[in-house]
Amino acid sequence: MNFKNKVVVITGASSGIGEAAAEQFAKKGANIVLVARRKEKLEQVEKKLSKYSTKILVQVCDVSDKEQVKQMSEKVIEIFSKIDVLVNNAGFVIYGKVEELSIEDIESQMQTNYFGMINCTKYFLPYFLKQNSGHMVNVASVGGSFGVPGIASYCATKFAMLGFSEGLHHELHETNVGVTVVSPIMVRTSLFDHPSFKNFTKFATGISLTSETVAKAIIKASDSSRLEIVVPSFVRIGIWFKQTFPFLINPIIGNRFRKQLDKRDS
């Protein structure tokens, strides 16, 4: 797709994957709306992107708050009169066993990761449909296909995102509007800076990705007819095995991640 003069709204653009995606879209000539709660961080990203001759709009907005999302969406349309790509990327995770997490810990993850995506989708979808063009990219996780001990409530938000996106994908079949989920494995970002990860060994084993790798997948997703892009793609084989032979794969996943929880407790 030619992104010149396209309007790309990215939530969670103040760091990590969102920031990297903003830079790659800007490099391709798109106008970017940077959405997150921390104004100073958004302004730093805006400054970094000023070398690309595109329009950058900073919108301080908590995506879990319907009213703030409504105002943000109205501002985007007032300024640009359209939206071409919406990247629902804002999210966070709290680490710990379900017995340790409060109901509020579980609710807040759903409120941002799932309902944040719902709020943005609901306020922008009428414009996509009116234009009969554009694409929504929802950043889920491989944790949207595996229930992992220690992040059960986070996984639930991503399972929900995947299920919602699949239904919406079918509903949009007759239109020129698309929705694609990007599901990465572990990415080296500040997601794991949450205090609950204090005794967690970050990126120690297995594969971890850079934000730029995921940003490239987001660019690809924004012009794709596929429902889900898994990053890296070979992990899809693992998902297939898990769905086909859960009795073989689930004990392996359980053991591997329970060990990490136990290590934290020792």
Ligand X SMILES: NC(=O)c1ccc[n+]([C@@H]2O[C@H](COP(=O)([O-])OP(=O)(O)OC[C@H]3O[C@@H](n4cnc5c(N)ncnc54)[C@H](OP(=O)(O)O)[C@@H]3O)[C@@H](O)[C@H]2O)c1
For ligand X, the binding residues (CB under 6 A) are 11-18, 36-38, 41, 62-64, 89-92, 112-113, 116, 139, 141, 184, 186-187, 189-191
Q: Least CB distance from residue 187 to ligand X, whole Å?
A: 4
Q: Which CB, 41 or 48, lies closer to ligand X?
A: 41
Q: Least CB distance from residue 152 to ligand X, whole Å?
A: 14
Q: Least CB distance from residue 149 to ligand X, whole Å?
A: 16
Residue with tokens 């990203």: 45
Rounded to whole angstroms, the Cα distance separating 113 from 88 reads 9
Q: Which CB, 173 or 198, lies closer to ligand X?
A: 198
Q: Which CB, 92 or 257, lies closer to ligand X?
A: 92
Give the number of other Cβ atoms within 10 Å of residue 209's Cβ: 18
Q: Least CB distance from residue 247 to ligand X, whole Å?
A: 26
Q: Which CB, 129 or 166, lies closer to ligand X?
A: 166
DSSP string for residues in the chain:
---TT-EEEEESTTSHHHHHHHHHHHHTT-EEEEEES-HHHHHHHHHHHTTSSS-EEEEE--TT-HHHHHHHHHHHHHHHS--SEEEE-------S-TTTS-HHHHHHHIIIIIHHHHHHHHHHHHHHHHHT-EEEEEE--GGGTS--TT-HHHHHHHHHHHHHHHHHHHHTTTSSEEEEEEEES-B-SGGGGSGGGTT--TT-SS--B-HHHHHHHHHHHTT---SEEEESTTHHHHHHHHHH-HHHHHHHHHHHHHHHHHHHH-
Q: Which CB, 129 or 216, lies closer to ligand X?
A: 216
Residue with tokens 């001759």: 53
Burial classification of residue 26, based on how many CB atoms lie within 10 Å of its CB (0-12 exposed, 13-18 middle, 19 or more buried): buried
Which residues form the catalytic set?
Answer: 154
